[in-house]
Chains A and B, each alone.
Chain A
């Protein structure tokens, strides 16, 4: 599998703040990228995917992709306690996903 690295956590943010998550990948040929949220003991839930350079917004979430830098990020605006989870960055290779180690986010009320 291809290497995917995420910024180490855990990340603790106050409610209403912005949580910033970063991810780098090693395979320059990678085309699409996913952000998943995983609650303890549960299957991953898709937050969003991105395949074009630039920003992609969906509600309170914004993904950013820079293929030249091999960098993907996820911003969570107006963080809520329910956003407390582990966030996984994944690189797609013909539907086979290479996951990063995950960043655990805790939103303090």
Chain B
């Protein structure tokens, strides 16, 4: 089964509202998680690194006040898209490395956001 779970799988919201996406590690603790965004027919772009117990670090060009990230526990990171607009419509995916060193990077199933 999936080791990283995202919820919801898809969401439609009205322009100007906020949407929260959850990313959970199921069988392990993740002090760090990563959030990616993928627009149609484009590749995944890293948005931010979510750090348990501290502030997230954002990639250049990503508005931290618009994409709020909270990593309140070792198994849960949330991404809130605030005041969503149609241009925020995208596929959002989280990933988590294991806590032991290695090359396994686990991806969530992804969340489709459509802003109307």
Contact = CB atoms under 8 A, between A and B. Distances in A.
A89 to B, nearest CB: 9
B34 interface: yes
Given A1-B59, A95-B97, A46 B105 contact: yes
B48 to A, nearest CB: 10
B46 A88 contact: no
A39 to B, nearest CB: 11
Given A43-B93, A43-B108, A51 B103 contact: yes
B107 A92 contact: no
B62 to A, nearest CB: 11
Nearest to B105: A95
Given A92-B103, A95-B32, A97-B95, A41 B43 contact: no
Contact of B43 (A42, A51, A101): A101
Contacts of B112: 41
Given A88-B43, A96-B34, A99-B45, A34 B105 contact: yes
B109 to A, nearest CB: 5
B44 A99 contact: yes
Interface string B94-110: 01010000011101111
Given A1-B46, A99-B44, A41 B34 contact: no
Interface of A: 1, 32, 34, 41-44, 46, 49, 51, 88, 92, 95-102
